Structures are given as structure tokens and as C-alpha cells.
């Protein structure tokens, strides 16, 4: 059975059959639970998470274009670009610095409430409240992100469990980055 690390290179990964029907054998249920646990453990271990965020998206833009998965992914990419630039200035591009993030997109119960759930970890040189303000700034400067958003402290692995259980097929691995420890004595 492949590990989450082996599957991460595939971009957007679909986690099929994480929860199985009652008609499945105990062995199949155990395998499914093991896989879900492996995903949760791997995602929780990527970084020292500090923020649990839900962003909602506009359903339609000024040109009457309906939102879709590609637009949501592009909007989150732009949001993360603005956030990375706000936190790391231009060095984020030159040095490859990225804010650690896990992203899951969702559509709501009736498929009419486009939203994204994110786990973020603030950089060590920025405090919690300043990073929260940077998140608000990045959301305000991303066209498709709506005003309805929830920025909360990440308290425990319950948020990761929610992400995997809520919309496991919509984890966007191309937008998932791990903690990057500071490099000491790096050559110029």
C-alpha cells in the first residue's frame, strides 16, 4: 500500500474509500482506517500548525462566470502568493521560502457553498496576531475570496481530522507545503 508521501507527487490526490460501507469486511475496514490514520498523521506532522482557516468563495464574478475547481485552486494559489510575499518579501521567490500549508476545497452539502479549509503555520519571525492580519490582507487582495472567512488558532489535530474526514477527495497536494527549517550558515 502506497504511503501518503509516495502519493504526494501526483498533485491533487483522490482518497477513495476512506470510509467504507457496513457491508465491507473487517479487514477492509481496518485497511481503510489505517490509510486515513496515515494521512492524518502525515498531514499533522508536516509543520507546527498555528492557524485553522476557512475561506468562502464568490459563486459568480462580475462577468457572470461561475466558479469551478480550477478557479478555486488558482485563487488559493494567488492568496498564498500574496501571503508569502507579505511574510517573506521578495525572498520567498528567490529562496523558495513558503508558508507551510494544507489545503482542502469543498462545495458544501448542496454543492452550492464553495469554500476552502487551510492549515497554516506562521513563520518564526512573525507573531500570531501579525500573521493573522497578513492572512486578512491576502484574502482581501484575492478576487474570488468572499468576505465570509474564519481565522482561528490551530488547537489540536482535530482540525486535520476534520479536513481528512470532511472532504478527503479534495486535498490539493500541489498546494501542500511542509515546514522548512531555517538554514544556518547558508552560502551567499
pLDDT tens readout for residues 169-178:
677 777 777 7
Cell numbers placing 80: 498564498
Q: What is the overall mean pLDDT for the chain?
A: 77
Neighbours of 168 (CB within 10 A): 19
**Crossing angle between the packed helical segments 26-44 and 158-166, to the nearest 10 degrees:** 130
- The answer on pLDDT for 74 being more than 80 is yes
Per-residue pLDDT band for 16 (boundaries 50, 70, 90) equals very low
- Residue 35: predicted pLDDT: 76
In the chain, which ranges are continuous DSSP H helix?
4-7, 26-44, 69-88, 91-95, 128-140, 158-166
Would you list the DSSP string of 110-123? TS---EEEEEE---
The residues with which 151 forms a beta bridge, in sequence order, are 53
Is the pLDDT at 136 greater than 80, yes or no?
A: yes
Contact 106, 170 (CB under 8 A): yes
Is the model's pLDDT at 183 over the cut of 70? no
- pLDDT band at 180, cuts 50/70/90? low
**Are 180 and 84 in contact, with CB atoms under 8 Å apart?**
no
Q: Residue 120: pLDDT above 90? A: yes
> Rounded to whole angstroms, how far apart are CA atoms 140 and 144?
9
The whole-model pTM stands at 0.76
Half-sphere exposure of 119 (CA within 13 A, CB side): 29
**Percent of the residues in the chain that have a pLDDT greater than 70, as a whole number:** 74
Q: What is the pLDDT of residue 188?
A: 39
Q: What is the pLDDT of residue 186?
A: 40
d(CA 78, CA 139): 9
Q: How confident is the model at residue 4 (pLDDT cuts 50, 70, 90)?
A: very low
Amino acid at each position: 500500500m502506497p504511503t501518503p508521501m509516495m502519493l504526494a507527487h501526483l498533485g491533487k490526490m483522490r482518497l477513495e474509500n476512506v470510509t467504507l460501507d457496513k457491508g465491507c469486511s473487517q479487514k477492509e475496514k481496518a485497511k481503510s482506517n489505517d490509510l486515513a490514520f496515515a494521512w492524518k498523521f502525515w498531514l499533522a506532522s508536516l509543520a507546527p500548525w498555528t492557524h485553522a482557516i476557512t475561506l468562502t468563495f464568490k459563486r459568480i464574478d462580475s462577468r457572470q462566470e461561475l466558479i469551478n475547481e480550477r478557479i478555486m485552486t488558482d485563487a488559493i494559489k494567488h492568496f498564498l502568493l500574496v501571503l508569502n510575499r507579505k511574510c517573506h518579501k521578495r525572498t520567498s521567490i528567490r529562496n523558495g521560502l513558503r508558508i507551510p500549508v494544507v489545503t482542502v476545497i469543498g462545495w458544501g452539502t448542496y454543492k452550492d457553498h464553495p469554500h476552502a479549509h487551510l492549515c497554516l503555520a506562521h513563520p518564526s519571525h512573525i507573531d500570531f496576531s501579525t500573521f493573522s492580519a497578513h492572512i486578512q490582507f491576502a484574502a482581501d487582495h484575492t478576487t474570488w475570496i468572499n468576505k465570509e472567512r474564519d481565522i482561528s488558532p490551530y488547537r489540536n489535530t482535530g482540525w486535520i481530522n476534520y479536513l481528512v474526514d470532511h472532504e478527503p477527495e479534495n486535498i490539493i497536494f500541489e498546494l501542500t507545503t511542509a515546514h522548512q527549517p531555517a538554514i544556518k550558515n547558508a552560502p551567499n
